[in-house]
Structures are given as structure tokens and as C-alpha cells.
Structure 1
Amino acid sequence: MDAPLSTGRDAALTCSVAKGDTPMTIEWTFEGRPVGSDMGVRVLSAGPRTSFLAIQSVGAAHSGVYKAPAIVPFELKEALRLGQDTALTCNVLRGDLPLTITWEVNGGAVDDLRSARVISAGPRMSILTLRSVGGDTGGLYTCTAENAIGRATHSVRLTVKEAPEIVPFDVVAPLSTGEDAALTCRASKGDTPMTLSWTFDGRPVTSEMGVNVISAGARTSFLTIQSVGAANSGEYTCTAANDVGEASQSARLTVKEAPEISPFSMEGPLNTGEDAALTCRVGKGDTPLTLDWAFEGRPVTPDMGVLVIHAGSRISVLTIESVEAAHSGAYTCTAANAVGNVSYTAHLTVKEAPEIVPFSMDAPLSTGRDAALTCSVAKGDTPMTIEWTFEGRPVSSEMGVLVLHAGSRISLKYPVYHDHFISLFLFVICTTIESDLHGSSEAPEIVPFSMDAPLSTGRDAALTCSVAKGDTPMTIEWTFEGRPVAELQKVRVISGGSRTSLLTVSSVDGSHSGLYTCTLHGYERGGHGGPLGAAHRQGSVALPPEIFPFPALDALMDGDDASLTCYAYKGDTPMTISWTFHGRDVSMERQFTTQAVGTRTKMLVIPAVSHGHSGTYTCIAKNAAGRAEYSTQLVVKVPPEIFPFPTLDALRDGDDATLQCYVFKGDTPMTITWTFHGRDVSMERQFTTLSAGDRTSILLVKAVSHGHSGTYTCRAKNAAGVTQLSTALVVKGQFLRLWKCASVTKRPPFSSCCSAPPVSAS
């Protein structure tokens, strides 16, 4: 041939034999193979020495010089996250047919991967799709194209980013106070570098909590607590985080706590006949609890004249109406649970007035006879004073009367000098207690009472109003902020005798916080009735925080600013308010800004949100009474973004063409469509589209011709917006011109700015 021919031209060759004997045969071969009509070649004989070979409309298959394959380079823009889909397109731009296209990963066949699928898209194209990539999917992927002349390869490395995965851990059993605790957090999967952090009930763990955290390499963290206490009970969470994501694992530590009794005592000695009350309150300790009373080591029983009242699971009140000397002694309250027991003892002292054994003369005596009287005090506290009087005058030796003391007894003996009967008036007076027992009408006196400390919501409370002094009868009444306590729910008043009243509140809440007053009625002095004595103390209920619900932010666009406001409308101050993002304290990250507004409000501000800000945001409010938290979701809508198409600048008439549209950013679900000159290609048979996962669409055009020249546009759309990328393809002989433009519209109505300039016929 004088020169190369263009596709579609006619070709002719003449074989003329100048010399040689006849007959002879003339044969044509093509690359060593006999020429046949199936090759599109016609052989004509022009005599015994001439033969013509004619080819009408030559094509590449008729070329006598074979070409080795050439693969259009392909690549991956970025590493993939675990679970994403992707596709690799191997397009053999040049090379004689037939071609064999194969795929390998790390030197082995891709058939060994369950997620891999190979799609043949014509004789020059092979597409490898990978669905939901995992850790075993990463590696070096190689496409090999081979024909009779040679082979070509192209490789690309696929990197799969793996989020952390934590091996589950737990506390084997509840621990007793004083034991040591240890938790091990190990991330079995996930790319490094990664961070391992611990929280306790949502708060970052610090050394001030008595907790030690030890790092053992990039994937393991130990949490240890030496000598646990009740304050260590709660949920411990380990969070592993890397660039891909995060994982958390929690374990609850339960510390078994022995009981602890709040000290109690009797307010001084009591007089016989007064009422007594002792309150045993267990401030700490696991439930269930048992509360028992003992007197001098013996269990208290009703026949002792003692009444025991249980006010909830943690309070027991012992009352004695009208105490006697026999009630003096040690009263012990014992609290016991599964962990252990504890006792507390208070002593009751009863002051007893003297009681004289009756005595008298058996009969009148004659003058000169001797007489003796014995005054014996059967009861009464010592020391005491015993005196004799005669007709109201103190007895003396001048009267001829002898007084003998024999311990607590006195013997009086005297002679009779007068001839008449003598009447003897004897009085025994215990001067040390006379003023206590035989004075004028006495005003009431209430034993002071109070709460030991503020109570947390849900605990039981009890107040004991005990009247140490005052004449009976009397009436004891309770009021709350000046109103009868009967108006309150879960409040009960129990009488413990004529001088004791017990007020109990089961499961306190904020409505029970206020002033409780015990008032005595029914005592009269000087003809005037009404309350003569009263005592009161403040009963305080510590209120844990309550957070006012705040809305979710589910309509933010990429680049918008976001703000969340946390308002703790209930709860005692001082309180602390903090924010976390997926369990991590936001104060440690620069991308977040927090601002306190007073003591009960804290704002969280995120400027220019992106997809990475989507997730769970939690506000935590904490005070001495407890904690509260409220969480919401922030959703950032991300519009699609298309990876630029590879340039196809060497297509010829009859070649196959492929375009791959890969949407590497944007929320799913999304739709990906192709248009040719603005028309949907799915309506035309000459085009084939293939889906390779949620983010990739491939357009195939087999045997391109001049009619395929024009603008091809890939359009990706999701709830956040629409993006499109266009290519102008020109098919003319061996020449190709390409124009590209792209537009992104984040919010409807969507519009396109893509166009291609007209292609000249030259």
C-alpha cells in the first residue's frame, strides 16, 4: 500500500507473476492465515499469472500490522470507608481484537472476593464492582489486557478506612467496698492512629475521681480503681475513635455498700412519765435493709412498753410513752444488708421521784413507852435528802427524838414524857427533784429536730417532734409552710404517744422542700388557751437538674452555622452544664464553641457545619443532687459532588466509549442519570448504563460514529441539591475534541450552566 488508508475506504492489491511455468496457483494469506470471504475480502483471478485482492470499506481488522493493547489509566480519588461501594473501569483504548481482559487483586484472582463482580461492557471494556467494601477488600487491583501481539496492565491501590471495633468487656460481679477494680478496653479493629478515652456516667474520667487510666499501645487502655467506694458505682464507657468513625463499649460497676447510721442521741435525762423517741436513720448502704432495736442487748418487744415504727426502708423510730426507771439503759439500732451490718447506741436516763413505803403506829402509846418509826424509800434516784418534821417543825435532839440513817432508810425513836396522845406527821421530801416534779404549770419544751443534710429526690425522710417538758394533755400538730401537712402527698403523721409525733415522707420530690413546723396545742395557763410552745426546722430536698427539651437540627446544609441551647429550668445551684458529641467532651475540640448564659443555660455553636458534624449532641447538667441529660440529632445535608471524568482524546470511528460518573461526596439515597444533548439516554437503545453501587454510574457507547458527537452530562441529585458534569465528545476520523464544565446547585430550583460549543466538521 502506498499510504495508510482511512476507515471506510476501498483497498485493492494486485499479485502478478512475471515468470514461471504454468499451470500455477496463486493464493493470498493474511498474517499467515488463508484469506477467506468471511474476512470481508474478495479474490479475483485475471488469468493464470494475475490475481486481485479487493477490500470494500476497510476497517482496523484488515490492518496487516497488529497493535498491542493500551489501557486508559484509571484511579481512585480517596480511600474508602468501610461499607462503601466502588467500581473500577478498565478501558482498552487501542489494541487489536480479540482481547482478553482480566482482573487481579494482590496477585490473586478477584473471584476469591465475595464483594467483587466483573462486568464485561464490550470487547474493550471490563468493569470491576465492589459492594460494601471491608477490611479484606483493600489491596492492589490490576487490570490486564492481552492479545496476540502483547499485553498491558494498569494497577491502582484500594485503601479501606476501617472504623474502630472494641472487644466487649464487663465487670464480673458486684464488688465490695475496699476492693480493687480493673477494666480493659481493646480495639480489635480500626485504622491507627486512634484515641481511646474513658467516661464515667457521661463525664470524662479524671484522676480526681480516684481512677487511673493506663495506655498499653495504640489499641489498648486499662482503667483501674484502687479501693472502690459507693461513689465509684456507675457506667464506665470506653470510646475508640479514628478518622473513619468511633465505637463505644460500656460496663456497669456496682459497689456493694455496707449500711451507715446517722448518729442519734437522747436530749438529756427524762422524768418519769415523760415520752421518749429515738430515730435510727440509715444514710448510706444498699437495699434491702433490716433495722432492728435492742435494749441492753436484748431484742425490743412490745411488752417492754416500747413501740417501733418503720418509716420507709431506711428509717426506724423507737418511742416509749410514759417512761419509767426500768426504761433506763442502752438502746441499740442495728442496720444490716447483704454486705454487712452496723450498730449505733444511745443511752436513756430516767429521773425517778422518791416513793416512801407507807408506815404508821399500830396503836396509841401510853406515856413513858418507847416509840419508833421507820421511813423506807422504795424508789427514787440518789442522792436524795430525807427529813423528819414534827407538827411542821424540823425534828431535833432537843425534842428527845433520835434520828438514825441506815443507808436509804431512817429510823425515828423517842420517849413519851406527856400523858397524852401525840399525833405524828411525817413528810419525806426529795429536795433534789422537787422543783422538777411538783412545780406550777409548766410550759412545753420541744426537743430540737432537723434534717442531717439535703435529701436527693426519691429518698425517704422523717422528722420526730418530741416534747421533753410540759403538762398533759396536749395536742401535737404539723404544718408545712403554714398549711396543714395533710395537703401534701406521700406525707404521713404517726403518733408515738402523748408527747411524740413522727412525720414521714416517702420518696421525696421538689414539692416537699420547705419549712416544717411542729406546734403544741391544748395547754392552758392563766385561763388563756392556745399554743404555748412550738419548734420548727427547715426540711430541705436537694433538687437534681431537669433540662428543657430542645429541637433536633435536621435541615442544615453543608456550610451553614448551627447552634443548640441547653436550659436547665429546674435543679439546685450551683450546677455545671457541659456538651458532648458522640460521648466526647466538645470543650476539647476547636471546631466547637460553648458559651454560658447565666447559671442555667449553655449554648453550643458550630460554625460552617459539614458532614462530619452530623451525629448525637448531648447536654449534661449536674449538681450535688444528681444529673440530667438530653440528646438531639444534628443532620447536615451534603449535596453530591462528582469526580471529574477521565479524558478520552484518542477515540476513532468504530471504537467503544465509556464514561464513569463517580459521586464521591453527598448524602444517600441519590439518583444518577445521563443525558445526551439534554435527552435522557435511557430512552435510546444505542446507549447502555450500568449501576456500580449507590455512587457510580457507567455510560457505554459501542462502536462510536459521527452521530455520537455531542454533549454528555452526568447528573447526581439528592435531598441536599444537584450536581452535574458534562463532556463534549467529537468523533471525526482519528480526532476527538473535549469540553467540560460543571455546576452545583444546593437548593431547588435546580439549574444547569453546562453547555458545549458546536463542533466543526473539519
Structure 2
Amino acid sequence: MLSFSFKVQSFDVELTPKNAMWRVGDKQQLTCKVKKCSEPVIFSWKSLEDKPLYASMTSTSEESVLLVEKVTEHNENRVQCLAKCGSVSKQRSASIKVYSFPNNPVISGHDDMVLGVESTLTCEVSDVYPVEEIGIEWLAGDNILSSSDGSAVSTLSLTPTTELDGDKITCRVTLHLNGLQPDETRETTVTMSVLAPLLKPSIDVSPKTEIEEGESLTISCHTDGVKVDRVVLRRVVEGEEMELQSNDDTDTSVTIHPAQMNHTGLYECEASNQYGSQKASVNITVRGYPLEVELIPNQSLISAEKGSSLVLSCQASGCPQPEFFWKSLLDMPVHSRSETQGFLSQLYLSPLRLEDERAYTCEVKCGSVLKSKVIDVQVFSFPQNPVIEHSGPFLAGHENLMKCSVPDAFPGSNFQIQWMAGERELSSDIGSFSSEPQNLTSTLRYTPEPEDQGKDITCRVTLAMRGLPETQIDKSASTVVMLQSAPKNTFIAVDPENEVKEGEPVTISCHTDGVPVGRVVLRRMVEDQEMELQSSDSAHSSITIPSAQMNHSGLYECVASNEHGTQKARVNVTVRAPPRNTTVEVLPSVEVQEGQNITIFCHSVCFPPPATLLRNLDNNMELHSPDGTFHLINLTSNHTGLYVVNVSNDLGFDTVNFTIRVTKARSASPPTWENVGILSLGLGTAVVSIAGVLEHLRRARKKGSYELTKCMPSKV
């Protein structure tokens, strides 16, 4: 038996420190050492958390160092050192905690506390980590006033008293962190300053806050309490402060004599010292004369016609001796004549001119009271009725030009020119702006209809201005429409209807609306030829066919004309009939040999086109054809027999009987002159039949009818 012995490598690994507590900004390291290893050691480091190591590594044969040049919060981690000695590996792990506490806390809000008013002091520490391990205490001497944990900011609410002024208060911040021995503590102490402002001053008005214009007025200001540095009495006008009086004492006052209405307003007293200031205010009203001003006419805007006389009256009340002033825009003087007597002043604008159009102000003064009224005077010119011009009589359906003129109109932009046909507006124009009177014109493009005969076309001119006695001024002119027109609404009618049965009566009528009445012609189109049926020198013409026949089918035309033009109307008339005169044509013959072919042509006179049925009465064979043509192929003896053709449409039917005989095939023999003649006759008949069909269709198309072809020459 063989035996083997193996030597197991035994070595130790040491990682220091195992629980590291590093301060942010410091240089730190972890050291991994191996003992009892006779071979070179291979070292490696790794993070046991999901983050990089943020460190560098240096190693020797027995030791590896993980170095952090400047610690940050990112270095907080759990790391592992792996050492391999020969084929054996061992590892050790260590925990790294990071903290930061570089600055002392800062206290704010301690130097602007007001006596009796609740204040909030704030203590804040910056750049501390981890924040959740922070504890903050507020202390007055050795007494703890408040404490909080887990935040870098703490507040303390105090209601200051005079005893707190000059006292000290401390904010102490402690970082409680396992592994940090001892706990790090920082604190800041400040001196509290309590401001003591003045009591609110009082403001008095003598004799009272509402007085009459001309009386005396005294305003006094007084304050009590702590030492006063200064008392100011001022007036506040539109947000601006105007100082009236000041004193370095507890009292000050000012007297106004005589009081005027412009002394009305807000007055304010302010007392101040080193700790602050307090204010008091009062509203004072100085009443003036109860002056009232009225303009006649009592409206803000008046419109008057050029050349008329206009008088503006201004009346004052509530004042023993009013003073009147007439002004215009931008305080320009008014040169028109005015008269004033007692409480009434009148301005005469006569005759009214365009340059008198402006805003007029009547200003009345009574003592310090000044009131005014404004009236805006507008001038218009509308001296004549409008005038309509046109070139001649109207032609129905043709455009006519009509012109409406309004002379010496002002202001043009306030004029509207409407063309009316009864109550219906045809068109509307607005005048253009001008600084001078102008001749306004409007042109109407008017196309009259026959029903407009005798109607009035009116040009209505409207002046719309604010300040008129009525809403607007209307003037108008009219002309009567005397219409002439080319024929219109020409139509052709068929009674009872466009499709009639053969034998029924039918009336074809023509009507037109031309003015003046011209000539009406009723005619029929036959093979592109015009055949006159009836004519009349009136608006109507008609013709009656007592018994309609199929040859009456076709295109009928009504032509209406006068000196202004011509108009046409057309209609297609169709006469419907049951099948009749039916013929049957068998090619090449009704007697053939077995194996030959036969073509059967069936023709009938009727409309609408018929359906055709072919029946062998001996063996009940049936064939249908939409065009009356049948092809019998490779005939046998079974095809021999009596045949009937039934031609039908929705009005009736017609039948024709004939016999076909199929004989046994004979051996070929030279053709005889008799056989050749028979063949030629058959082919000739076929050619003539087909040519006849085509010619009949051509004529039917020209006549506008759709009847089937008439009988062909060869009949059975």
C-alpha cells in the first residue's frame, strides 16, 4: 500500500482598524497584514456595498494598504481584504463610518426682538454629517430651554421682556455617533437685545374734523411713555408726505387760518426714539360752497346743422356770486359772443360754422370752489335730398349702373347710402372721411328680374350722429323700374307625359316670359332637320296630336325670341306600343342538312324593346334572346319541327309560327347552278337584312326614338 502526506499552508490575516471612524477631510488608511506565509502573498480589496472604494492600494509581500487621501461621505462603506498564500485564500472585512462637524452653530433673530412681541430665534449648524445623529439644545446659563434631534436647524420662540435685554443665550450642538469618543460638541453664545418702542401717539383736531371754508383749524400731536426723540406732524397727499411741524418733545401742533377746501385730506403724527416709532392719523374735511353747474342742453354731445343758430346756456346754483368762464379745447379762448347775467351765462354760435365744431367748457368759480361742465358740439351738413341718375330703361337679366349723389355732405364718414327695392336692401355704402363737405356718390350694379317690373328702386341716405334731436336723419329718392328682357323661363311641356301609349292624344305646349312679347315657334327635329309645327306672336303656343303613333316619337323644340335675344327649350317624346308586324327570317334556309347551322332573326315594331322566346312545339325546347337573334348549331333530326316565336313587352305580345326541316346529309356533289342561286339568294337576303337593320337604327337615333326595326323583306 502506498501512502501520501500533504502539507496544508496555515497563515493569519489581520485587518486594522476593523471599525474605522473617519472625519471628512482627513487622510486615512486600512492595513491588511499576513503572518506565517512562506510564499509571496497576493492581495485584493473589494467593496461589500454597491459602491466604488474611492481609494488607492499599495501592497508588499506581507502587507497591503488601502489609502484615502481626503475622506468624503462617499467613503462610508464595508470593505474586504482578500489574501492568497499559495493556493489558500483568506479574507477579513472592516466597517468605515464617516462624520463631519467643522463649524460652530450660528444664531439669528436675537438682535431685533421687540418688547412684548413674540420672536423666533434660529440656530443652524452647517456641513454636519450625519445630520440624523445631531442633537441641539438651547440654554440660558445652565438651564435647558429646548432640545431637538435629527436636524441641523432648531428654532426657539420667546416673548421678550425688559429682563431679557442683555441676557445671554447659548445654542449647543452635539454629534452622537457610536465609535466617536467622546461625542463632539460645539456651541455659540449671543447676547439678546430687546427693543422698547414708544406708545402710540394721539392726534387732536380743534374745533372738529369737519369745518366750513374760512374757519380756523388747529391740529395737535401728543405721546406718552418712554423718552421721545422727535415728534413730526405731516400731511399725506396722494401717497406723498409733506411735513408741517416737528419738535424734539412729546408735543407739537399747527394752526391753519383761514381753512380752504384744499386743506382737506389725511394728517399724520409720528413719534420716534432709538427703539422705533409709532403713528396716528386723522382725516380732515373742509367743506366749500355747495356749487352746482348745469349746461343747457343737458347732454354731453349735441349735433347741429351748419348755418343754424345754436345757444349754449350755463347755469350756476349754491353760490351767491359765481364767476363764469367759457373755454375750449386746450383752454383756447372762445371768440363767440357770450352774455352773463346773475346765475346764467349764454354762448351764441350763430351762424354755426364747421370751425365751431369742438368741445366747450363752462367753468364756474365760487371762492375756492371751481366746477365745470363740458359739451361737445358737432356740426353736420345735409342740405338736399339725394339725386338718382341712370342711363335708360332697364333690361331684364342685364346689369344696369345707377348712381346716387348727395351734395355738400359732412361729415362724410357718418353717412350711409342704401339702395332699396321695397324693403329689401340691394347694397350699402359708407361715406369716407373728409375735413370738408363733399359730394357723396354710390353706384349700384343692378340686374333686374322680370318680377321687378314696376317696382321702386330707392336711394336712402342716412346721417347717424350722436347728439341729434332724433336718432338719425333720413332723406331719399326713388325711380320706377321699367323692365325689358330677352325671353326667360322658356319651357316646353308634354301632357299627359313624355311617354304615351300609341293611340292616345298628346299635347305639346311652349311658354316663355320675354318682355316685350316676341314670337314663339314649336318645331320638331327630324334627321337634323327643323320642321315647324306651330308659331305664335304671344308667350304661348301648343299643338295636339289626337292619336299618337310611334313615328311621332322624337325631339321637340320651343324657340322664343324678341329684339333682346332668343331662348330654346327641348323635350323628347316617346310613343310606347306593343309588338306588331313581327317577322322571322331564317338563314341560310328553313331546310338544312344534319350538321349545319341556322341563324334565326326576329323583328317586331314596338317600344319598349321586347323579349323574344323561341319554342319547338314538337319537343318543347325553349330558347330566350334579348335581341331577337337565335343560333342553332350542328343541327340534327331532332331539330325538325314546328316552331313559334313569342315577342312581348309590358304592353302586349305577338307570335309567328314556322317550320324547320333537317334532312340527312348527302354526299358531296359538284354544285349546280340552281344550288348556287339558292346560296346566293340566301346570302343576299342576309346582307340586305343586316343593311336594313343598320339603316333603321340610324334613322331611329336621329328621331330620338328607340322602336325596334320594321319587318325585313324575306318573311316566313
What is the TM-score when the length of structure 2 is the normalising length?
A: 0.33
Give the strand-richer structure, 1 or 2.
2
Whose Rg is larger?
A: 2
With normalisation by structure 1, the TM-score equals: 0.32
